[in-house]
Structure 1
Amino acid sequence: MNFKSIGLLLISLVTISAVSFAQKSKKDTIKVFLLAGQSNMDGYGYVKDLPKDLSKTQKDIWIFHGNSAADDDTKKGSKGMWAQLKPGHGVGFNTDGEKNNLSDRFGVELSFAQRIQELYPNDKIAIIKYSRGGTAIDTLVGSGAGCWEPDFNGKTGINQYDHCLKTIQNAFSVNDINNDGKEDVLVPMGIVWMQGESDAHSEETGLRYYYNLKRLMNLLRASLRVDDLPVVVGKISDSWNDPDGKVWDWGELVQYAEEKFAKTDAKAGIVRTTRYYKYSDKWHYDSPGFIDLGKQFANKAYELNEGKAPEAK
């Protein structure tokens, strides 16, 4: 082989290496939102009620739905996998981390993702979801269905806060969430929180809700490493479908705490349209309610990030 051939070979090898390095080093930036809370975050909408545009798989939108588990469960909680968003991530969903078992229900994730994609048309979107029905922040009621209080230890020291943190950790541990061969950089854009009904069962827990909510949201912000990460809170409402009228006897205290948090935290907002929704039972919104709530969450998340309200649609 002459010097000219050797030179051409070296140039080819360098070119191939450079192209290979460029391909490996190219990264995708993906906006990620955390959806968390109790049963109205789980979602009780019926998939059969979805309009056509929400009944299909959503392009360029991925979800990591952490498996819901009780406090003290050290095996099942927070397992999950990245998958394209489609209907079935409502109550009844479960996963072993290798396969998602979709349910016949949906929550706010579908309309939220659709609206966020409309507001950020040039971006890829990801959702991390962890929620569990009946859970409370306060330890006084949280030891039943589950507790979000970070210092509540129970038997094993594992509670809903821990399951949520592990879900976040598992989601961020995947370098290529959409399997396109490019490393993905997940950029936290907000927390959406729909919870509080279980803390409205007593005056004592209702009065503590502001402190509990503020502390928990700041700790979740810290877990996502953004101190001023926008937080959107869904204001709890009441179906008034109870013998004495009110389902949540101390609901006004929790509502006051949610309003106070949204007013006093510069990067927090509240969605109040819940008061107008109809219910599928005494505790949960109906299908149109979940669809609208997801859109309202997306609009408020965009407003907190961009400093302006989105154009109405």
Structure 2
Amino acid sequence: MKKQVFILAGQSNMSGRGGVQWYHGLYLWDDVVPDECAASPSILRLSVDLNWEEARDPLHIDIESKSKTCGVGPGMSFANHVLKETGCTSPNIGLVPCAIGDTAIKEWEKGSKLYNQMVQRTKAATEIGDGGEIKAILWYQGESDTDSDHASEVYGENLKNFIEDVRLDLGLPNLPFIQVALASGSERNIEKVRKAQLGLKLPNLVCVDAMGLPLNSDDLHLTTQAQVKLGKMLAEAYITQFLVQSSADNEPKIC
């Protein structure tokens, strides 16, 4: 059975910093995994060396550099909620972690290292094992761009180009793209980036707003419970916008 593949891309709030705090000069994860993020034989992840394995938080532990501490992100909550709401019981969801903390959108432009790695991993996910079908890209990025007046002003155009390039290079012109509007960032420019995110109009593009979700003590990264909620929000967006609408009997299934 082909896996239903979801790409997790962007920066640190997608890779996950839930439960990560500063202790005596080090960032440490508290090892707390909520029930909503529990591992399941029905949820797999693509490792850094392109092997499918049972998914569990931290999903990005081998994707980001060893200098970054990963915790809970939205991926496992998303996958568990999709399984719950669609009634799947067999191994069916494949998560492809690609997010890298502290990266601006220009670092994701076509031809860049991050872009090429994401496209390579996405294509590999469709071929390895029993194969897979790419269902959507989940994108949470933009905090780094709020640090720059120029980057925030051109963010919308850069995001549009990124989405169109990814769809073209994957050969999927209608690939669902679910982005997250920022919950944090530089006060000087956050509203510019959020306006670009919330205002971008492209086919099969949905925006989930994270503003108001609780943040860690750094006032930048989502807490564990905020990540749980965000994962459910992303799942509901996927189900309502891309499954229900395409289901003739209004009973979405991905199995």
Question: What TM-score, normalized to structure 1?
Answer: 0.67
Task: Verify the 8 A CA contact 1:200 1:250 in the aligned structure 2.
Answer: yes
Task: Verify the 8 A CA contact 2:125 2:131 in the aligned structure 1.
Answer: no
> In structure 1, what is the Cα distance between the partners aligned to 2:84 and 2:35?
17
User: How far is 1:288 from its partner?
Assistant: 0.6
Note closer, same or farther for the CA distance 1:62–1:206 as it changes in structure 2 (3 Å cut): same
3-state DSSP class of the match of 1:132? coil
1:148 aligns with 2:108: yes
1:22-171 equivalences under 5 Å are 28-46=1-19, 48-52=31-35, 54-55=37-38, 57-66=39-48, 79-90=49-60, 93-94=61-62, 105-122=71-88, 124-138=92-106, 147-151=107-111, 158-171=112-125
Residue in structure 2 matched with residue 247 of structure 1 by the alignment: 186
3-state DSSP class of the match of 1:274? coil
What residue identity is the alignment partner of 2:104? A
Task: Verify the 8 A CA contact 2:18 2:216 in the aligned structure 1.
Answer: no
Note closer, same or farther for the CA distance 1:104–1:255 as it changes in structure 2 (3 Å cut): closer
3-state DSSP class of the match of 2:9? strand
> In structure 1, what is the Cα distance between the partners aligned to 2:145 and 2:97?
21
> In structure 2, what is the Cα distance between the partners aligned to 1:282 and 1:165?
31
Consecutive unaligned residues in structure 1, runs of 5 or more = 1-27, 67-78, 96-102, 139-146, 152-157, 177-183, 239-245
Residue in structure 2 matched with residue 22 of structure 1 by the alignment: none
Identity %: 24
Residue in structure 2 matched with residue 299 of structure 1 by the alignment: 236
Residue in structure 2 matched with residue 3 of structure 1 by the alignment: none
Structure with more relative contact order (C-alpha pairs < 8 Å, separation 6 or more): 2
Consecutive unaligned residues in structure 2, runs of 5 or more = 20-29, 64-68
> In structure 2, what is the Cα distance between the partners aligned to 1:53 and 1:159?
33
1:213 aligns with 2:159: yes
> In structure 2, what is the Cα distance between the partners aligned to 1:280 and 1:65?
30
Note closer, same or farther for the CA distance 1:133–1:248 as it changes in structure 2 (3 Å cut): farther
User: How far is 1:61 from its partner?
Assistant: 1.2
More divergent stretch after superposition (126-135 vs 266-275) = 266-275
Report the aligned-residue RMSD: 2.5
Q: Which runs of 4+ in 1 moved over 4 A?
A: none
> In structure 2, what is the Cα distance between the partners aligned to 1:164 and 1:307?
28
What residue identity is the alignment partner of 1:54? C
3-state DSSP class of the match of 2:173? coil
3-state DSSP class of the match of 2:166? helix
Residues matched between the structures, number: 232
Q: Which has the larger radius of gyration?
A: 1
Task: Verify the 8 A CA contact 2:119 2:170 in the aligned structure 1.
Answer: no
User: How far is 1:237 from its partner?
Assistant: 1.9
Task: Verify the 8 A CA contact 1:274 1:289 in the aligned structure 2.
Answer: no
What residue identity is the alignment partner of 1:42? S
User: How far is 1:83 from its partner?
Assistant: 0.6
1:190 aligns with 2:144: no
Task: Verify the 8 A CA contact 2:182 2:210 in the aligned structure 1.
Answer: no
Question: What TM-score, normalized to structure 2?
Answer: 0.82
> In structure 2, what is the Cα distance between the partners aligned to 1:229 and 1:266?
9
1:277 aligns with 2:214: yes
What residue identity is the alignment partner of 1:41? M
User: How far is 1:53 from its partner?
Assistant: 5.1
Task: Verify the 8 A CA contact 1:233 1:271 in the aligned structure 2.
Answer: yes
